[in-house]
Structure 1
């Protein structure tokens, strides 16, 4: 289960990544389901580093936070009909007036909140950096920020901070040397080729085990290596990648001819890994995310990479772990024996350089950005240095920053109001489950039992993580990054073999996102998302239920989507369905797959209904449950759904704010990557997909049969 965060998250939020490896930090995928997806979804976009010296770290006075994308009447395009295109009616005018900024690949509601979070985090970091006597979490944040903002020192250091790593790669002579190097790199928090992390056992969610997961590709997914793509765009990207690798190696002092040869070797190496890798759609199946083996059996299956030695190097004493994709790891073992050491060196060398490039001199950071940011995703300019350094703080000591963030920027009344909203959504969902006409009483009772065990987490953790033992300083940016990588890796490894700590969070409070974790049956809403257009304590009920209410419902319904529904009330991967009920569920979800398969995005590329199914189920169910909860809230307040504010009824404002949440512009390159890799459909289709299946939407806007936003009865999707 390698995957995303909250189902509603923003695709532009700062990625929750390992600060030094080329791939995102490990998360078993079936279970971490987010609202929106970070831009580093495919593991190829890291925080870019290097910067103009003008971005010196100066303490900010009280920050003026950027605006949010709160609903405003003036944004509506009244030349369009909501019954034809809700997204165009609500967002068309706004999107035309707000192109994607040069330092981003997407721009919309989530990104505007991310700008606010970044502005607040910058103030915190600059204040900490200005205090040479800072202690505790402020010292960690200040040390990272101060050293990261010292562009002159970073540029003067050049490649020296990682020279010992490169020298170790140069010294490799045998397959056993390569295996030892990989073990040592994982122990340092800088693994390559595959991912290894800690997560609850699919079969016993109360205990943490280790998970080895396929990884090691620089391009977004296997198809970029194995297919030419529409109009040959994958082929073009491969060629650009090879050119990038050669340039980066030359930057590191490799002779031109050798750099060209090594670049070709890297592509061939990663292509072989790609052939053994599962596709993003296949990885959505929990069966492909969990394969428990004993340590003895793993050693027998992998003679060239003894897993017992790997565990020992990482301080682990275990009887077994999940070797999650056996086919991939069988090929990895063969490659240790068959691939020449020189080719391994080329692969490991470029991954070491590119993985650390965000923290090195401009030469390396700029080259990395030119390919992964500009060529692959269409980002025209690097973020200013302060944002890139904040990305590093977030990836290394994000919860330490979050501890200060909630003290300064998260009012207690927001948490209390959210708790009430969650309770109202829970009541509405239970009624929906109890009234299902297509599910047997036995399965229904188990669905309600799962509902009863939901754990909501709002704002920030009740217990903050300890950072005791992490030593940082004001003398070296890369030193701080590497120290945190090792510290965080050891912290994660320390969980394996122990009971799950249900107080831990998988996102920091300053993250604009939300998530559902099926293994813990928990729904999590960080503080930063609890702002307009999602949530406003002063707004009328319709806006809050169409915003954060639908997000709450979305996360709850992930417990009953095509993945989450395969986990029981305790978070175990277990079948709690009667066969006939499961078949009925799959027949209904098949119609939703077809609905999204039919949507055509940029350059005639279709949305992948199977890839996006879980999010689409959660959108439809979440919006439906939020609408039910709104009706009860209005009744309790003595308000009529027909009561108008600014000329629109409560029901209309509910659906209008749902669409406001999903206003987002994309760079064309970014959109194409997401269509191949993102389990979330593009935002404009999310805005219209769920409402078009709801009679309540048609009634609210007096739509009629035949209107584009009214799906015919034989195609209308009703699940939860």
Structure 2
């Protein structure tokens, strides 16, 4: 069988000599003729494939939305109804802030630290992160068990450096303006003054946040405690009311891993030193910010003006259909993944990928066996880990069941709230059970790949398995140079930090 080249010759700049500038020779014409789309801050091969994958997903979702014959509760019907709730802009504008009234009512109950804890727990079920966040993952030190991790939160800017470094001074000014404008759009009185106090509160929290370098330290960020021991870090934090409102199953927090213990202690102090009115204003802001993209256009525009244009350098917001696709994927992504895999991932692609992965593992094996600087014990452990790698290719063997989520084509905010609560409950229910090795942490329609340390697995979703990374009809050299580099990259993560 004669394979095709698989290399895009139209991208070449033949005025450049490859021996002088190989990158220019291979990519020069593409660089000279390609413009970055207005709704993106960067553009490259991954972005091109993401655009193509998003268009394919759009076709699948819009077909689902137009199919009136699909049964209620089926993945196809849920996908179509959720997308319809986002694209019905007339209803979104008509409802205004009404869908958020139940959420904002939670904030209105905050009169002291205990009621703040209850509101934080209830709102975390809606996807509104509090100053102390939780997530469930296999235990880094006991990977056969799930455990709850607790980590720092509470900021509206990307990380703590944005609150202290001089180069971000203009960003801080723009952020306060943005907070005030969003509060004003919601009819919150004294919006500008509250924005200033919200910034002061977040700056206080940020002063105790660990920086990005320290947060990469796997030793420093692993601090296992019983719940009683965690409570001692911040006695003033309303642990019991928070957990009750979160609807955490009995015993699920008996063991926790606190990633930044000093922040938890500082949070306890902040609960005593900061006026409860400021905490309530801060929580109001975070509710509005979390749901702004689901509200009328004035909220969408204000949210994009800061987070898209000012913070990310993105000139234009994405078209509404693209944002609708993103909402559906964030809420019931594997339901979309089922449709995508059925349409776009042939079995032959999985077979070819398994062969490529096997050959890359063999290359690693050869390398490890001959490295002079690697000692015998290290070599033995590295080879054992290499042989234990589990590749996952294309899509999950077991699909997530979303049938218990009520999806209403006339209730966008409610759909998102219910799907978020579903995920909170699904993850907390893992505690005490066996590790689900069939679970995927990336959607089949996403152009990416990952290595999962606790499961020693490398995962390649269907959407990355297309040209120029992977081509069933292309010469082996192209596939090894494309997806082979990705496979090697992910394998390498098994032996780095």
Q: TM-score range by the shorter chain?
A: over 0.9
Q: Quick one: distance in 2 between partners of 1:221 and 1:486?
A: 26
Which range moves more in the overlay, 210-219 or 395-404? 210-219
Match of 1:196 among 124, 131, 134: 134
TM-score between both structures, scaled by the size of structure 1: 0.66
Q: Quick one: distance in 1 between partners of 2:162 and 2:293?
A: 24
Q: Quick one: distance in 1 between partners of 2:262 and 2:133?
A: 15
* Cα displacement (A) at 1:165: 1.9
1:468 and 2:403 equivalent?
A: yes
Partner of 1:246: 180
Contact 1:200 1:519 in 2 (8 A): yes
Contact 2:357 2:487 in 1 (8 A): yes
After superposition, the Cα gap between the structure-2 partners of 1:81 and 1:213, relative to the gap in structure 1 and judged at 3 Å, is farther
Partner of 1:163: 101
1:176 and 2:106 equivalent?
A: no
1:92 and 2:24 equivalent?
A: no
Partner of 1:40: none
Partner of 1:260: 192
Partner of 1:282: 214
Q: For 2:196, what is the secondary structure of its paired residue?
A: helix
* Cα displacement (A) at 1:402: 0.2
After superposition, the Cα gap between the structure-2 partners of 1:260 and 1:94, relative to the gap in structure 1 and judged at 3 Å, is same
* Cα displacement (A) at 1:311: 3.5
Q: Quick one: distance in 2 between partners of 1:74 and 1:499?
A: 52
Deviation track 1:690-710 (CA, whole Å, cap 9, x = no partner) reads xxxxxxxxxxxxxxxxxxxxx
Match of 1:138 among 64, 71, 76: 76
1:389 and 2:324 equivalent?
A: yes
TM-score between both structures, scaled by the size of structure 2: 0.95
Deviation track 1:359-416 (CA, whole Å, cap 9, x = no partner) reads 1111111100011001111111111111001110010000110011100111111111
Contact 1:178 1:336 in 2 (8 A): no
Listed as ranges, the matches of 1:468-507 within 5 Å are 468-507=403-442
Q: For 1:203, what is the secondary structure of its paired residue?
A: coil
Contact 2:125 2:420 in 1 (8 A): no
Partner of 1:352: 287
Q: Which runs of 5+ in 1 are unaligned?
A: 1-69, 564-720
* Cα displacement (A) at 1:308: 4.4
Listed as ranges, the matches of 1:576-595 within 5 Å are none
Match of 1:533 among 465, 468, 483: 468
Q: Quick one: distance in 1 between partners of 2:372 and 2:163?
A: 46
Contact 2:119 2:242 in 1 (8 A): no
* Cα displacement (A) at 1:81: 4.7
Listed as ranges, the matches of 1:666-677 within 5 Å are none
**Aligned length in residues:** 487
Listed as ranges, the matches of 1:585-624 within 5 Å are none
Q: Quick one: distance in 1 between partners of 2:453 and 2:41?
A: 30
* Cα displacement (A) at 1:519: 0.8
Q: Quick one: distance in 2 between partners of 1:537 and 1:322?
A: 44
1:110 and 2:46 equivalent?
A: yes
Deviation track 1:240-268 (CA, whole Å, cap 9, x = no partner) reads 1111111111100124xx11111111111
Q: Quick one: distance in 1 between partners of 2:145 and 2:408?
A: 36
Contact 2:121 2:244 in 1 (8 A): no
Q: Quick one: distance in 1 between partners of 2:176 and 2:21?
A: 42
Contact 1:453 1:521 in 2 (8 A): yes
Alignment RMSD (CA, Å): 1.5
* Cα displacement (A) at 1:309: 4.3
Deviation track 1:114-166 (CA, whole Å, cap 9, x = no partner) reads 11111111111111111234231011101111111100001111111112222
Contact 1:134 1:142 in 2 (8 A): no
1:127 and 2:63 equivalent?
A: yes
Q: For 1:286, what is the secondary structure of its paired residue?
A: coil
Q: Quick one: distance in 2 between partners of 1:141 and 1:117?
A: 16
Match of 2:364 among 409, 413, 429: 429
Which range moves more in the overlay, 212-221 or 439-448? 212-221
Listed as ranges, the matches of 1:515-554 within 5 Å are 515-554=450-489
Contact 2:391 2:457 in 1 (8 A): yes
Q: Quick one: distance in 2 between partners of 1:404 and 1:412?
A: 15
Contact 2:113 2:237 in 1 (8 A): no
Q: For 1:198, what is the secondary structure of its paired residue?
A: strand
Q: Quick one: distance in 1 between partners of 2:57 and 2:143?
A: 34
Q: Quick one: distance in 2 between partners of 1:71 and 1:362?
A: 43
Partner of 1:211: 149
Deviation track 1:638-684 (CA, whole Å, cap 9, x = no partner) reads xxxxxxxxxxxxxxxxxxxxxxxxxxxxxxxxxxxxxxxxxxxxxxx
Q: Quick one: distance in 2 between partners of 1:84 and 1:177?
A: 67
Q: Quick one: distance in 2 between partners of 1:505 and 1:176?
A: 37
Partner of 1:220: 158
Q: For 2:133, what is the secondary structure of its paired residue?
A: strand
Q: Quick one: distance in 2 between partners of 1:306 and 1:175?
A: 7
Deviation track 1:30-88 (CA, whole Å, cap 9, x = no partner) reads xxxxxxxxxxxxxxxxxxxxxxxxxxxxxxxxxxxxxxxx7322212234455555433
Contact 2:334 2:443 in 1 (8 A): yes
Contact 1:298 1:307 in 2 (8 A): no
Deviation track 1:421-440 (CA, whole Å, cap 9, x = no partner) reads 01111111111111110011
After superposition, the Cα gap between the structure-2 partners of 1:530 and 1:138, relative to the gap in structure 1 and judged at 3 Å, is same
Partner of 1:569: none
Deviation track 1:162-191 (CA, whole Å, cap 9, x = no partner) reads 122223323321122212211222244433
Q: For 1:276, what is the secondary structure of its paired residue?
A: coil
